[in-house]
Structure formats: structure tokens, C-alpha cells
């Protein structure tokens, strides 16, 4: 499945059974290929352990700067549009074989250093029975928003059985991916709460922030409940074989640092703490969060994602030592010519030169109209420019 000319030391995705799961017990990766990991296990080397991506997350030397893209599996790929044709978004997230195919598509095409599990941040909310849907051109829409204390009763615990399709899909993926790591992900409590309280996407978050300011007790209980659901969803992914996890706090940039620390950070920290025992890297990303970068690292992340607004050297100063950074090319650069893309990517790499660890990514997700070939060329450029 891999493209010709893959870099030495990187195993391509494969159809044969194989591919260790993150943290599975035993020191022989080949003997761990079908093992499930729990938080009580001692993390051990697996087929993915020495990948450039995981090494960068651990702030260890790498053969080249690893690359993956948020929304790399998505509408920019014609093969994605073909397999998704006629299949609603949430339904596509619940078909293990379709999830597997979509997740693998950008790995095959672009030679990225990691796959990210194809899903949506509202999947665990749908799985516990909330009446919501993802409407084309709009986004997640909640039929009955969460606005009162009585509404909290609708947020029951998430069990592995609720998302058995996730366990099945990740099992299929780890066998296909071999030594290429799989990133699991979930929405952070604040972003999920914003959707639930607003009833859908918002530019102002007026209802969510009104609850945060006006009824801090209810707000804290809501985020705490969502932290439990999010942690359970990440645990399912890790125990099935995800090698790392990313917490997306897409809308946290709407918060002032004091509000984030007081009203949001405790819930995110609870999520990170809940999965700390698995020994997999934990990535934290938000949009417009330049003023929050230090706090996002403090919440418990091993890797802090940075959007395009803050140069990586400045981001490192704000985050402080002991963290790797991920990012942060402006996604719109990919609509320019090849030389401009290379020049802008070079600026990102130069700003990252002094970092303890760096995973190259965009500063936000791949835009739907992006030329897939531009992404493929970008991966090749970063690999070549940073080869050690």
C-alpha cells in the first residue's frame, strides 16, 4: 500500500496481520500484535515504539521531523469523497471497515508518519443516546440543548459496549498500519459543552459562557461529566491499540486565560490524568489559543499543538520546558505555488530548530479544497529537509 520510495526505517501499511498495540505487555512487538493494553500494564516497546512520530512526542532524536495533518482523512481526497458518497457522517464513523479505509487513505497517498482515527468529536455523545446529528454545511446540531441541572441526567456513563465499532475498527487498523502509529482523539470538555449548551456551532458561545459565568456550579458539573465521558472514549481507543491520543479543544480560544484556568482546565486535566497510566503521548490542541499555550501544557499534555498565529520558538517560550510541540503551517499556504509552500514550511522548521521535540502539522485542519498533491509534496519536503 505504501508509495514507492518510502524512507528507510518506516514500515508501510500492510494487509497482513501485525502491528503492535500501544503499551501491550511483552517486550517482543511481534508477540503483542493482538494484545490489549490497560492502564495497569507497564508500557513496553511495540512495533510503533521507534517510529519518528512517537520518538518526537517523547522528545527523543528522530531520523527526520515526522509529519501528519489534522483532517488528513477527509474531503480533500477524491477517494474519501467516493467512499463517503451517500453515507451520513455519523453513520460513516460507526462502520469499522469504512473507518479503516478512510483512516488509511492519507497514509497511502501522502506517506505521513502517523494515521489519525477517522471519527468525530460528537461520536461519544451520540453513543450515550443524545439526540444529535451532523448536518452538512452546519456541523453538529443538538435537538435538546443542555441548559439545566436536570439535563445532566441525560449524560450517562460511556461504556466500551457503546462504541464497540471503535474497538473493532482500531483492531483492523493496527493490523494494517504495522509500524505506523495510530492517533486516537476526542473533543475536550469545553468544546463538547459549547456544542451541547448552544445546540450547535456558535461564533459567540453566549449560552455556554453565560452558564460558565452565571451558574459556575452547574458549569463545573457539566464539564466534569463530559471529562468522564471523554476519558472513557480515549481509554477505549488506547486499549484497542492507539499509540497516542489528541484532545481537541477547538473553541478554547474564545476564553481568557483566567477563565480557562478556573473554569475549563480542571476538566481537561482530569481527562489527561485518566489516561496517563497508559504511557502513550497525550497531545492538546486548540484554535486561537496563543494566550493559553502554557496552561494547555500544564493541563497534562506531553505535546502541545500550536495554530499558525504563534511562531514555534515563541510558543516554546510560552509552554516552557519538558513538552514537545506540534504545528504549525497556515493551511491556506497550501493554495499557493510549490516554492511558496516550501519557503513557508522552511520558516516553520527554522522556528522549530531549538525545540525539544517537534511534530510537523498544519496550524489547523486540511481545508476541503486543498490539492492533495500539495500535501504529498509537503510531506516529502519536510522529510528531505530534516533528514538526519
Residues with catalytic roles: 71, 75, 84, 120, 195
- CA angle, residues 237, 134, 227, in degrees to nearest 5: 40
- How many Å separate Cα 150 from the centre of its chain? 32
Alpha helices (runs of H) in 58-188, residue ranges in sequence order: 78-84, 89-92, 96-110, 123-127, 164-177
Across-strand partners of 246?
185, 283
Q: In this structure, which long-range contacts are made by residues 9-14, counting pairs with CB atoms below 8 Å and at least 24 apart in sequence?
A: 9/63, 10/51, 10/52, 10/113, 10/179, 10/180, 11/47, 11/178, 11/179, 11/180, 12/178, 12/180, 13/104, 13/107, 13/108, 13/115, 13/176, 13/177, 13/178, 13/180, 14/176, 14/177, 14/178
C-alpha cell at 106: 492519507
Helix, strand, coil fractions of the chain, as percent rounded to 5 = 45, 10, 40
Strands 303-305 and 282-286: parallel
Phi first, then psi: what are they for 106, rounded to 5°?
-70, -25
Q: CA–CA separation, 368 vs 366, rounded Å?
A: 6
Q: Which residue has the cell 468529536?
A: 121
Amino acid at each position: 500500500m505504501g508509495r514507492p520510495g518510502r524512507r528507510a526505517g518506516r514500515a508501510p501499511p500492510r494487509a497482513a496481520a501485525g502491528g503492535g498495540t500501544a503499551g501491550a505487555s511483552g517486550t517482543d512487538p511481534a508477540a503483542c500484535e493482538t494484545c490489549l493494553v490497560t492502564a495497569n500494564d507497564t508500557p513496553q516497546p511495540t512495533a510503533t515504539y521507534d517510529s519518528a512520530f512517537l520518538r518526537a512526542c517523547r522528545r527523543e532524536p528522530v531520523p527526520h521531523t515526522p509529519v501528519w495533518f489534522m483532517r488528513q482523512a477527509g474531503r480533500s481526497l477524491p477517494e474519501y469523497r467516493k467512499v463517503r458518497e451517500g453515507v451520513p457522517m455519523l453513520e460513516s464513523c460507526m462502520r469499522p471497515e469504512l473507518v479503516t479505509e478512510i483512516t488509511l487513505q492519507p497514509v497511502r497517498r501522502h506517506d505521513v508518519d502517523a494515521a489519525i482515527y477517522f471519527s468525530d468529536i460528537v461520536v461519544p455523545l451520540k453513543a450515550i443516546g443524545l439526540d444529535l446529528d451532523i448536518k452538512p454545511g452546519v456541523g453538529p446540531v443538538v435537538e435538546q440543548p443542555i441548559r439545566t441541572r436536570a439535563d445532566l441526567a441525560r449524560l450517562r456513563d460511556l461504556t466500551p459496549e457503546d462504541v464497540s465499532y471503535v474497538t473493532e475498527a482500531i483492531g483492523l487498523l493496527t493490523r494494517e498500519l504495522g509500524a505506523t502509529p495510530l492517533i486516537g482523539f476526542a473533543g475536550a470538555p469545553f468544546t463538547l459543552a459549547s456544542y451541547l449548551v448552544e445546540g450547535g456551532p456558535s461564533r459567540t458561545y453566549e449560552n455556554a459562557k453565560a452558564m460558565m459565568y452565571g451558574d459556575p456550579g452547574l458549569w463545573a458539573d457539566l464539564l466534569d461529566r463530559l471529562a468522564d465521558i471523554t476519558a472513557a472514549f480515549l481509554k477505549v481507543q488506547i486499549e484497542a491499540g492507539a499509540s497516542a491520543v489528541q484532545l481537541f479543544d477547538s473553541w478554547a480560544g474564545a476564553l481568557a486565560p483566567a477563565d480557562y484556568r478556573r473554569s475549563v482546565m480542571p476538566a481537561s486535566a482530569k481527562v489527561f490524568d485518566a489516561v496517563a497510566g497508559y504511557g502513550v503521548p497525550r497531545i492538546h490542541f486548540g484554535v486561537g489559543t496563543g494566550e493559553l499555550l502554557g496552561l494547555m501544557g500544564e493541563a497534562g499534555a506531553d505535546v502541545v499543538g500550536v495554530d499558525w498565529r504563534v511562531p514555534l520558538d515563541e510558543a516554546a517560550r510560552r509552554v516552557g520546558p519538558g513538552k514537545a510541540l506540534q504545528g504549525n503551517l497556515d493551511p491556506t499556504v497550501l493554495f499557493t505555488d510549490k516554492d511558496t509552500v516550501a519557503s513557508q514550511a522552511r520558516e516553520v522548521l527554522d522556528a522549530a530548530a531549538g525545540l525539544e521535540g517537534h511534530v510537523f502539522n498544519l496550524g489547523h485542519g486540511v481545508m476541503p479544497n486543498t490539492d492533495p498533491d500539495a500535501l504529498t509534496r509537503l510531506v516529502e519536503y519536510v522529510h528531505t529537509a530534516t533528514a538526519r
